[in-house]
Amino acid sequence: MKYKSNRLSNVPPYKFAEVQKMKKEALEAGVDVIDLGVGDPDLPTPKHIVNKLVEELQDPANLKYPSFAGSPEFREAVAAFYQKTYDVKLDPDTEVLALIGSKEGIGHLLPAVIDPGDYVLGPDPGYPVYRMATLLADGEYHNMSLEAAHGFKPNFDEIPNDILEKAKVMFLNYPSNPTGATVGIDVYERAIEFARKHKILVVTDSAYNMVTYNNYKSPSIMQVDGSKEFAVEFGSLSKAYCMTGWRIGYVVGNKEVIKSLSIYKSNVDTGVFTPIQKAAAHALTGDQSSVTEYNQVYKERMETMVAALQSIGIGTKPIHAGFFIWAPVPDGYTSEQFVATVLEQTGVIFTPGNIFGPGGEGYFRVSFSVPNERIQEAVERIREKLVIGS
Ligand SMILES: *Cc1c(COP(=O)(O)O)cnc(C)c1O
């Protein structure tokens, strides 16, 4: 008997679990743990969105099976959001699809568009789901290494020709998790040019598109001419509106890709609960003051964190988006050794960079998932208790 496919056996173990185990042990030992590892901020979903959900729950028609592609209200709200934010026109019927969170869509995209042995190009370091979803679709993953010296931007010329010939899909993610890097529209222009030349689908993951500060505005690949031919963009309500548990996102762009993904999905799921779609539509088109307010909170946490890390000799710079700081570990440590040492000596949890791919080795990620006072406390403890090089 073997209840595990070879495909699944090829997927490396979920590395976050190890950090979670160390956390559990520390908590059991009575340590006051400050968890700066999780990517799920402490701020609540804004009240008007919760109220809209409660209202929609009262209508029995909303409690039936949802439609596969998503409710018209939600798809129109995504199109309206693109019009308002990026001056991009989308057809809500054919160029927008509702997802059970963008992770679900990213996961199901690959079996819908690649064949076994096809190559997927993805950022290294990058969000682990791109790699895992590729392996689960029997594809091959190629790490596009993102260098600090190059602003963690992709270097398309570095991809070997033999890989390019077999490549079907390229993932890009800006504002980036884990590096915090942001880009201008020029990077997307080059990506579309590259896609046209090599017949590759570009997939952008815009999970942090609205989590921006310091006057930075994140562009969309959909603003580039030709994007509807060569690109799709995933988006999420999770980060901008603190709706991680609600499970709602979307994909926009190339019609054929959206069609393929919707055929695949119609055979494995039955869409997003309608009241959640209607509340999400309200989030996208309604009052955006919570977004501004939350971004201010992240900006302050980011500044506290960067100043604190710099004060203990860890080199890192202010960023303009997202809620993660990406920093090099001190000399003499691997990422995992450093994270384990910090937890042991101070009760503070970071995420080891190697979780995000081989290019993440030598780095750690800090998330602004806790209030400023706890960030201050974490840094005080590191300053007072951490013995680097012991
Ligand atoms: C959080 C996150 C997602 C997933 O968001 P959901 O919509 O909650 O599934 C996708 N990509 C990146 C880079 C993320 O950090």
Atom of ligand 1 nearest to the CA of 104: 9
Task: Name the residue among 388, 368, 371, 294 with its Cα closest to residue 325.
Answer: 368
CB of 238 closer than 6 A to ligand 1?
A: yes
Please tell me the distance between residue 103's alpha carbon and the centre of ligand 1 in angstroms: 6
Question: Best mutation site among 204, 205, 244, 326 for ligand 1, i.e. most ligand atoms within 8 A of its Cβ?
Answer: 205
CB of 107 closer than 6 A to ligand 1?
A: no
Please tell me the distance between residue 174's alpha carbon and the centre of ligand 1 in angstroms: 12
Please tell me the distance between residue 236's alpha carbon and the centre of ligand 1 in angstroms: 7
Task: Indicate the pTM of the whole model.
Answer: 0.96
Please tell me the distance between residue 234's alpha carbon and the centre of ligand 1 in angstroms: 9
Ligand 1 atom 2: residue of nearest CA: 207
Cβ-proximal residues to 268 (8 Å cutoff; 6+ apart), any chain:
108
Q: For 17, how many CA atoms within 13 A lie in the half-sphere containing its CB?
A: 4
Q: For 60, how many CA atoms within 13 A lie in the half-sphere containing its CB?
A: 0
CB of 102 closer than 6 A to ligand 1?
A: yes
Is the pLDDT at 65 greater than 70, yes or no?
yes
For residue 389, name the pLDDT band (cuts at 50, 70, 90): low
Mean pLDDT in the chain?
Answer: 94
What is the pLDDT, as a whole number, of residue 115?
97
Tens digit of pLDDT for each residue in 149-166?
999 999 999 999 999 999
CB of 244 closer than 6 A to ligand 1?
A: yes
* Bridge partner list, 236: 249
367, 37 in Cβ contact below 8 A? yes
Please tell me the distance between residue 104's alpha carbon and the centre of ligand 1 in angstroms: 9
C-alpha dist (Å) from residue 353 to 43, 127, 173, 226: 25, 11, 16, 35
**What stretch(es) of the chain map to CATH 3.90.1150.10?**
6-45+289-385
Ligand 1 atom 11: residue of nearest CA: 207
212, 295 in Cβ contact below 8 A? yes
Is the pLDDT at 390 greater than 60, yes or no?
no
What is the pLDDT, as a whole number, of residue 387?
80
CB pairs under 8 A, 24+ apart, for 136-142?
Answer: 136/7, 136/8, 136/11, 136/107, 136/110, 136/111, 137/110, 137/111, 138/7, 139/110, 139/114, 139/168, 140/166, 142/167
What is the pLDDT, as a whole number, of residue 369?
84
Please tell me the distance between residue 318's alpha carbon and the centre of ligand 1 in angstroms: 22
What is the pLDDT, as a whole number, of residue 377?
93
For residue 223, name the pLDDT band (cuts at 50, 70, 90): very high
Q: How far apart are CA 79 and CA 267, in angstroms?
A: 25
- The encoded tokens of residue 113 equal 């568009």
Average pLDDT over residues 167-187: 98
**What stretch(es) of the chain map to CATH 3.40.640.10?**
59-286
Ligand 1 atom 15: residue of nearest CA: 177
Tens digit of pLDDT for each residue in 329-343?
999 999 999 999 999
Average pLDDT over residues 366-374: 90
* CATH number among 3.40.50.300, 3.40.50.1220, 3.40.640.10, 3.40.50.2300, domain 59-286: 3.40.640.10
CB of 103 closer than 6 A to ligand 1?
A: yes
Q: How far apart are CA 243 and CA 7, in angstroms?
A: 32
For residue 46, name the pLDDT band (cuts at 50, 70, 90): very high
- Write down the CATH number for the domain with range 6-45+289-385: 3.90.1150.10
CA angle 220-221-226, nearest 5°? 140
Average pLDDT over residues 158-184: 97
